[in-house]
Structure 1
Amino acid sequence: MSLEDRWRTIDATQFSDGVLYLSAMVEIQPRMPDWGLPNMPDIMGRLDEDRPHGGDEASGKLLCLRCMAIRARRGEAPAPIWMYFQRRGALRLFCHIGSNQVHAEHMPESAEHKALVEREVQTCVRVGASVDTEVRAANGRRRADFVAVGPDVVLAGEIQRSTEPARRIGQRQRDLSRDGKRVLWTTDNVEPGFLKNVPRLVIPNLTGWQQALRDPELAIVAGMTLVEYQRCGWSDQWSGTTRCPHTNSLRPCGKIHAYPTLEANTHTYRPTSGPVMQFGMGNRPHLDVLVAGIVLGDWLPYQRKARTGYQFVWMPTEDYKRFVEDRGGTDTESAERNAGLIRQRTGTAERNCETDRNPPSVVIDLKPAWSDRHKNTLNWTSHQGGDPAPCRHCGRPAIARDEHGLPMHKTCAEKLLAR
C-alpha cells in the first residue's frame, strides 16, 4: 500500500489524540517525555530531517489524530488532517498545515507545569490517595494531568497556566467530569478570568519550577472561601448587603447564619483521614491543604452568582451544607436563586444596628425613665435585658428593654426623647 493511501486504513478513535507519523506508523505524544516513544530515541532527529512534511496525500507525513477522531465521532466523512513539525526556540510544535494552530493536547509541558503536577500528586499520595498521571476521560477525548482516588472522591487534576477560550475550557470540564470525577483546575496565570466557570484554585505567578516544588506554602489568591458564623445583620462579603441570607429581607431575623470570609478562627485543618496539616500563611489554608482536603471530600465547589454569570469557589464541606441551608436551598442553584443581586463589597463588615438610618416616626411615652441630671439621657441601669428581639423603634435586634419590658435600643429611645 502506498504512503498516500495509508491514512484511509486508520481508525483515529483507537489512538490517543496524538500525531501520527506515517513514515514510521507510530503515534507521537508531544506532551510526554520522549514523545511517548522511549524505544525510538532518534525519532525527533528523524522527523526533523524527513522534510518537507507536505500537506496532501502525495507528500503528507503527519496526521492530526485528534481532529480526525472528532470528525469520526460526529459521523463526518473520513478526511486527512495534515500537520507539520516546527521548532520555536526550545519548543517543538506540531501545527496544522496553513496555520500556526497548536492543540493544547499537543503543547509541550513547561517545567513549571510538570512541577505543579508533581506537587499535587505528592500531596494526594500523602493523604493516602492512589494516583495515576495522564489518564484519559471516559469518552477517550481528554486526558487529565492526574487522577487521584480518595475514600469517596475521584479527583481529576488539571494544571492550566496558559489562557484558553472559555468555550474550550467548558468543553474540557464536561469531558473530564462526565464519568463522575470531581475536577480541580490550578493556575498561576495573572489573569485567571478564563477559568471562572470551573472549580479552580489560583496561586501567585511562579518564578520558576523550583518555587513550585520547594515553596513550603503556595498561597491561594482566588478560588476558595472560608465561612464564619455571625448573627443576622452581618455584612455579606459577597452580596455587599446586610440582608438576611434566608429571607432576603432588610429586617434581621435574629438567627446565626454562615457568611463567607477570607480568614479562619482556627490554625489547624483536620481532614477526615490522613495527617493533620497546618494552615500556615496566617489563618488561610495554602495549596497543599486544599488539594488534600478536596481528594478526601472535605471541600466542595460552591457555584455562586457573580456580576456576569456564575463562578465556583471551594468551601469546607460542613460549612457548605450550612451555607446552602441558610439561603433556603437544597443545592447551590436554589440557594443562589434566593440570594439577591450579587455585588462585590469593598467596605468593612459591620452590624446592621451600627448603621444610622432614618427611623419611622413613633410616639412612645418615655417620661418615667428620664434622668434627673441630663434632659435627653436615659438611665436604664435598673432595666432587665433579654435575648435579641426586634426593636420597637427601628426593627433591628435589641437586647435592652424599655420601662414596659419591651425590646428597644437605648439610643433609639434617646433619639425620640430629643425630638
Structure 2
Amino acid sequence: MWHTGYGIEINLSLPDLGHPDRPDLLREITASVADRDPQLLECLAHHEGRECQSEAGGKSPWMFIRRGRIGGRRPLVASHLPITHKATPTESAQHKATKERVVGTATRYGLDAEAEVPVANRRSVSDAVVTGPDGIRIGWEIQYHHLSPSSVHRRSVNAVEHGITPLWVAKDRTASLIDRAPWARVDDMPWKDIADGKEMLIRGGYRHLQVWKCVPSSERHCLVSEGAGHCGAIHADWFVPALCLPEKKPVHIEDLVLQSATGESVPVYVPNRGSGRAGRHMWVPASDRALWEEIVGEKAPLPAAPDQEGDDVITFSEQEIDRTCRAGEEGWFVSDARPLRDLNQPTGGFTLPRMPVQRSRDPIQVTHVERVAASAALGCLPWELGPCAGCGQLMHRYGRNAAMYCRACRDVLNGR
C-alpha cells in the first residue's frame, strides 16, 4: 500500500514495513481510522494508475490494516475501506431494540437514563448511560458486529476518564471485546423478541466467587494438584452462575441494569495467574469483589494499555511487496474463524497455604487473610473458627452447628 503522508510504499510482510528508519510507523498505520486521516493509506494499484478492483464493489481505494488469522499465524492484512459503513439491517434492529430495552428498564426502576450520550470530548458516543442514585454512571455499549480490540480499549479508557463505567454487550462468543473491558454476553435474539421483553439472560461476563477447602469431601477439584488429588489448602475462583455450588440464579439484563447502577454488581479485573490469557474482566456481586480483594490483597484496575495475548502477536512472512489489487478475489487471504473467547471456564483462581495446626497449648497463628478465606470456605463467621480437637486443623468449632472434630477425624473415630 501507499502512505500518502510520507509518500512511501509499505510492505506489511516485513517487521520494519520496509522502513527501518521509521520505528513508529506500525503504530501510526494501525491506529483506528477514526483517529487518523481516512485517506492516509492508499491501494498501491490505485496510486500507480492501475486497475483497483474495489471501486466496482462498493469499496474505496483507501485502506485500513487488520490482523488476519491463517493457520495459527497473525499476519497484517490491508483491506479497503467501505464507501460508507453501515450495520446490517438485522444488527441495526437488534442494536436499537437492546438500547431501548436498557433505557426503558432503567426508567421503570426510577433511574436516570439517556440514549446516544456523547462523552465530554465528543470523540465517542455511548449507546445509553444509566445513572444510579449515588451518581454511578454506567455506559452501555451495544456491540453486535466486530470491533477491533484497540477501539474497545480506547473507548473504554475514554469513558472511565470521564466518570463512566463501560459495559459492553456482545451476542457472539468470539467477540473481540470479551475480556478487553467489562462486558456481558446475551443470546442472538430476533429484534422483536428483545423489544417485546422476552427473557434476556446474561450468558457470559457475570460470575460469582466460590471459596472452598481442598479436602476429599469437597465437590470441587484441586486448583494446583493434577488428577483428583486434594492439597488441603483453601482455593478461591470465579464461576458463572450455572457452575456455582450450589447453583446460583441466572442474571437477566434487567438485573444488570439495576445492580450496576446501584453498585450492587461491580466490574472486576482478574489478572492472568499462569494461563496464556492476559486476564479476565467480569461483573460480580459487590460483596464477592470485596472478599476477593481481601483474600488476594490487591485491587486490579482497568489495564492502562491493551494486552497482547498469544494469538494476537503479529507474524511476518518477509516476502516481496504485492503490487496487485486483490479486492474481491475469492479466497484471497480469507481468515480462519475467530476463536471462542467466552468459554465459561474458571479463571485459574487463587490458593492460600494450608491452614496452620495448633500444637499443645500454643495459640493459633492465623493471619487476617487466612481467617477471612477459611470462614468463607467453611461457611461460618470468622470468630466461629477454632482448632479441631483431633488434628488441630482450623474448622467451624464454635457457634451454631459447630463440632469438636473435623470430618476427617470424625471418620477415623467412627472407624470409616
User: TM-score, normalised to structure 2's length?
Assistant: 0.51
- Quote the Cα distance in structure 2 between the aligned partners of 1:289 and 1:174: 25
Whether 2:81 is the aligned partner of 1:101: answer: yes
For each residue in 1:104-124, what CA deviation from the matched residue of structure 2 results, as whole angstroms up to 9, or x when unmatched? 976466111111111111112
Q: Deviations over 1:268-297 (max 9, x none)?
A: xxxxxxxxxxxxx98222111112211222
Partner AA of 1:284 in structure 2? P
**Percent identical:** 18
1:202 to 182, 185, 191: 185
Taking the aligned partners of 1:389 and 1:194, their CA distance within structure 2 comes to: 47
The 3 A distance-change label for structure 1 pair 79 and 259 is closer
> How do 1:348-387 and structure 2 match up within 5 A?
none
Q: Distance in 2 between matches of 1:258 and 1:190?
A: 21
Query: Greater RCO between the two (CA within 8 Å, min separation 6)?
Result: 2
Q: 1:314 to 1:287 in 2, by over 3 A?
A: same
Tell me the SS of whatever aligns to 2:199.
coil
Preserved contact between residue 294 and residue 300 of structure 1 (Cα < 8 Å): yes
> Which of residues 300, 322, 326 in structure 1 aligns to 2:266?
300
Map of 1:326 onto structure 2: 295
Contact 1:199 1:301 in 2 (8 A): yes
The one-character-per-residue Cα deviations of 1:378-414 (angstroms, maximum 9, x if unpaired) are: xxxxxxxx96535866957587768xxx997144468
Residue 153 of structure 1, CA deviation = 0.9
Distance (whole Å) between structure 1 residues aligned to residue 239 and residue 178 of structure 2:
21
Q: How do 1:185-264 residues align onto structure 2 when only pairs under 5 Å count?
A: 185-206=168-189, 208-227=190-209, 240=223, 250-252=231-233, 260=239, 262=241
Q: Distance in 2 between matches of 1:69 and 1:135?
A: 20
- Matched to 1:409, the amino acid is C
Residues 167 and 184 in structure 2, CA contact (< 8 A), matched pair in contact too: yes
CA distance in 1, matches of 2:85, 2:388: 60
Distance of aligned partners of 1:240 and 1:324 in 2 relative to their CA distance in 1, 3 Å threshold: same
Corresponding residue number in structure 2 for 1:22: none
Letter of the 2:201 counterpart: A
Write the distance in 2 (CA, Å) between the matches of 1:257 and 1:79. Answer: 50
Determine the structure 2 residue equivalent to 1:177.
160
Counterpart residue number, 1:161: 144
CA distance in 1, matches of 2:62, 2:175: 31
> 2:123, 2:278 → 1: CA distance?
27
Q: Is the aligned partner of 1:144 residue 2:126?
A: yes
What do the CA deviations read for 1:318-375 (whole angstroms, capped 9, x no partner)?
Answer: 332122212333x2469xxxxxxxx9559xxxxxx9xxxxxxxxxxxxxxxxxxxxxx
Tell me by how many angstroms 1:133 deviates.
1.9
Gaps of 5+ in 1: 1-65, 73-77, 243-248, 266-280, 335-342, 347-352, 354-385
The one of 271, 279, 288 aligned to 2:254 = 288
Residue equivalent to 2:409: 409
Go from structure 1 to structure 2 and tell me whether the alpha carbon gap of 1:228 and 1:395 turns closer, same or farther (over 3 Å shift): closer
SS at 2:172's partner residue? coil
Does the 8 Å contact 2:87/2:145 carry over to 1?
Answer: no
- Over residues 79-119 of structure 1, what are the superposed CA-to-partner deviations in whole Å (9 max), with x where a residue is unaligned? 899xxx9999xxxx885646642499764661111111111
Q: Is the 1:201–1:224 contact (alpha carbons within 8 Å) kept by the matching residues of 2?
A: yes
2:81 aligned counterpart, secondary structure: coil
The answer to whether the aligner puts 1:315 opposite 2:284 as a matched pair is yes
For 2:96, give the aligned amino acid: K
CA deviation profile, 1:181-215 (whole Å, cap 9, x unmatched): 01111111142354222111101222x11122224
CA distance in 2: counterparts of 1:387 and 1:235, whole angstroms:
19
3-state SS of the aligned residue for 1:295? helix
C-alpha separation between the residues in 1 aligned to 2:95 and 2:256?
Answer: 18
Note if contact 1:237-1:260 (Cα within 8 Å) is conserved in structure 2: no
Q: Is the 8 A contact 1:393 1:412 kept in 2?
A: no
> What residue ranges of structure 2 are gaps of 5+ in the alignment?
1-31, 43-53, 64-78, 303-343, 348-353, 355-383, 398-402
Offset at residue 226 of structure 1 (A): 2.8
In the alignment, residue 186 of structure 2 is paired with which amino acid? Answer: I
What CA distance in whole angstroms lies between the structure 2 residues aligned with 1:198 and 1:236? 32
Closer, same or farther in 2 for the Cα pair 1:186/1:204, shift >3 Å? same
Deviations along 1:56-94, one digit per CA (max 9) or x if unpaired, are xxxxxxxxxx9586459xxxxx9899xxx9999xxxx88
CA distance in 1, matches of 2:219, 2:163: 33
Shift of 1:150: 2.1
Distance 2:155 2:83 in 1: 13
Going from structure 1 to structure 2, the CA distance change for 1:412 and 1:219 (only over 3 Å counts) comes to: same
Provide the C-alpha distance between the structure 1 equivalents of 2:142 and 2:220, rounded to a whole number of angstroms. Answer: 29
Q: Structure 1 residues 251 and 401, CA, compared in 2 at 3 Å: closer, same or farther?
A: same
TM-score, normalised to structure 1's length? Answer: 0.50
Q: Aligned ranges for residues 106-121 of structure 1 at < 5 Å? A: 107=87, 110-121=92-103
- Tell me by how many angstroms 1:175 deviates: 2.3
Shift of 1:163: 2.2
Q: State whether residues 135 and 144 of structure 1, in contact with CA within 8 Å, keep that contact through their aligned partners in structure 2.
A: yes
Shift of residue 172, structure 1, vs aligned partner: 2.2
Deviations 1:22-73 (A, max 9, x none): xxxxxxxxxxxxxxxxxxxxxxxxxxxxxxxxxxxxxxxxxxxx9586459x
Deviation, 1:179, is 0.8
| Counterpart residue type for residue 81 of structure 2 | Q
- Please give the secondary structure, in 1, of the residue aligned with 2:106: helix
Task: Give secondary structure in 2 for the equivalent of 1:218.
Answer: coil
